[in-house]
Structure 1
Amino acid sequence: MSPGQGAAWLVATLGGVGRLRPAPGSWGSAVVLPAALLGPAACFGLALLLTVLGFWAAHRLLGEDTNADPGWVVVDEGAGQLLALAALPEAGWIGVALAFLLFRLFDITKPGPVGWADRRHGAIGVMLDDLVAGALVAVLLLALQVVLPGGMP
């Protein structure tokens, strides 16, 4: 493995988390949850960083294999989960747990636009479905903050 591929593998697996079993996608989502303690702006910035690095790593490792989306690539889950966390005003455990559960639900069931994004090819297909899922969860969390008395717990 070349040095560039080694770095891409570290990014794609979030430092090897993508090799954990069972459910590597859930591990990839869970590993970024402590970032909620840094606040919404930091979560959004980290989501952008993982998105850029994830596109690079997916393209570097998967190349022209437009149908590949191996389970060990979890940088997409990390980026999408961080987008969802960016919608939380603070890091209350109920909000973080809700963000995690909703993100995993959307990532697994792939409703509407998440399913459309999942059918894209190459690095775009690997990354986009989780980014759309994270954005949809963020919108739901923001809406809940508006309608719940006292905001998000």
Structure 2
Amino acid sequence: MLYLHKAIASVLGIGFIPKGSGTFGALLACGIIAIIAKFTQDVHYQWVLVLLTLISTFVGRWSSGVMEHHWGEDASKIVIDEVAGMFLTVCFVAFSWQNLAIGFLLFRVFDIFKPFNIRYFEKYPNGWGVMLDDIAAGVWANGCLQIIIFFP
């Protein structure tokens, strides 16, 4: 079972990339988002993203909670949180390569610099802290992206 948690938390090993593993996790999410957009209709695209956000958040919390005991608190090997945060960043945003690129940049800025008390969420135990700071970054990135789209 430990191998399953390791695979989930590291997103099939992406977390083992020595530098920038979180960025690569978010990029993988961008690839998944692009594939979903290509093969679904707009209304289905949005709900698939919501479902993926929820699944990756709760499964990620479970696996992160287990792997924190082996790798340490919020270890860089855990990148499922970046995947969930990136999915959330583009929820309820029409797909375009421009929106995806801007969303990616916004999410990484909020995830790395953690403004607006995003760091506050890191204190929660059992994998919640790992996931919630990236969910908060995704919420802020989504809000900014919505504003950018609404006021071009």
The bucket for the TM-score relative to the shorter chain is: 0.7 to 0.9
1:13 aligns with 2:10: yes
1:73 counterpart = 2:70: no
Query: 1:78 is aligned with what amino acid?
Result: V
Report whether the alignment pairs 1:31 with 2:28. Answer: yes
Instruction: Give the deviation of 1:36 after TM superposition.
Output: 2.4
Query: How far has the Cα of 1:45 moved from its partner?
Result: 1.2
More helix by share: 2
1:105 maps to 2:109: yes
Aligned-residue Cα RMSD (Å) equals 1.8
- Is 1:43 equivalent to 2:49 in the alignment? yes
Residue 13 of structure 1 contacts residue 74 of structure 1 at CA under 8 Å; is this kept in 2?
yes
Identical positions, percent: 27
Q: Note the C-alpha offset of 1:64.
A: 9.8
1: CA distance between counterparts of 2:31 and 2:86? Answer: 11
Which residues of structure 2 form unaligned runs of 5+?
37-44
Structure 1: give runs of 5+ residues left out of the alignment. Answer: 149-153
- Alpha-carbon distance change, 74 to 131 in structure 1, aligned in 2, over 3 angstroms: same
Query: Does residue 124 of the first structure (1) align with residue 124 of the second (2)?
Result: no
Query: Is the 1:35–1:42 Cα contact (8 Å) retained in structure 2?
Result: no
Deviating beyond 4 angstroms after TM superposition, the runs of 4 or more aligned structure 1 residues are: none
Distance between the aligned counterparts of 2:123 and 2:112, measured in 1? Answer: 14
TM-score (normalised: structure 1): 0.85
Contact 2:118 2:137 in 1 (8 A): yes
Map residues 56-95 of structure 1 onto 2, 5 A cutoff: 56-63=62-69, 68-90=73-95, 92-95=96-99
The AA in structure 1 aligned to 2:78 is V
The 10-residue stretch of structure 1 (115-124 or 139-148) with the greater mean CA deviation from structure 2: 115-124
Shift of 1:77: 0.5
Paired residue type of 1:72: K
Please state how far the C-alpha of 1:135 moved relative to its aligned partner: 1.0
1:81-108 CA distance string (max 9 Å, x none): 1000213212x11111101111000000
Q: TM-score, normalised by structure 2?
A: 0.86
